[in-house]
Every structure is written in structure tokens, then in C-alpha cells.
Structure 1
Amino acid sequence: MSARTWLTVEEFCAELNIARSTFNDWRAKGRAPIVRKLPNGKLRLERADIKSWYDSLAEAA
């Protein structure tokens, strides 16, 4: 089974085992992965963007 390409914020938080408030804090500080807003106002994260974001954390360490 292949992984889904797009995740909801809730799915992203569950995968990283973080609270939604932590994600909101990261986003407010510009430290979260790229988030896309759908026409209905819901947010989605693309796995490719999550991987790039995660890889950038390793480079910064």
C-alpha cells in the first residue's frame, strides 16, 4: 500500500506525535512545513513538502 500524498493537519500531527498547538506554534514561527489552504478553508500538507522540511532540519542540526 502506498502512502497518501496529502495529509490533513491532524494526520501530520498524529504521525509526528505532536499536539495541534505545537503545529500551530511552529507555523506561527515559520518553522512548519509548507501548508496549502483549500478553497473550503481546510489545510493540507504534501508528503514531498514534509520530506523537504524534515531534511532541512537535519541540515540545520
Structure 2
Amino acid sequence: MPRDEMLTIDQVIDEIGVPRATFYGWRQRRKGPKSIKLPNGAVRIRRSELERWIATLEEAA
């Protein structure tokens, strides 16, 4: 089974097409996809988590 891809914030905002400020606002309000903060301070979002989060938005629409 392939590993779950770890996406950077830049990759996520490019994929979903929102401004960086919008994405960070969602993170601040805990409305965005769950993220992982690595020991070096970098933030990553698992591909599966991004897809799960998008699915919840579709269900709510």
C-alpha cells in the first residue's frame, strides 16, 4: 500500500484554489483540513485528510 502523501501548504492552496490568507484564516478558526506540524516547524497536510475535508464540504453543500 502506498504511503499517504504529505502536502505542503503551497500545494494545498494551489490544489483548492484559495488565497494563502484564506487558508491561514481557516487554520486559525480550525475550519480547514487537519495539519501536522513537523519538528522543524514545517506544516504538512496528508492527502487523505485533504480529501476527507473536501468530502465533508460536499456533504454540507
Q: Which runs of 4+ in 1 moved over 6 A?
A: none
Structure 2 gap segments, 5+ residues each:
none
**Percent identity (aligned):** 36
Counterpart residue number, 1:54: 54
TM-score with structure 2 setting the length: 0.87
Counterpart residue number, 2:35: 35
Counterpart residue number, 1:45: 45
TM-score with structure 1 setting the length: 0.87
Question: Partner of 1:45: helix, strand, or coil?
Answer: strand
Letter in 1 for 2:11: E
Question: Partner of 2:44: helix, strand, or coil?
Answer: strand
Task: Count matched residues.
Answer: 58
Structure 1 gap segments, 5+ residues each:
none
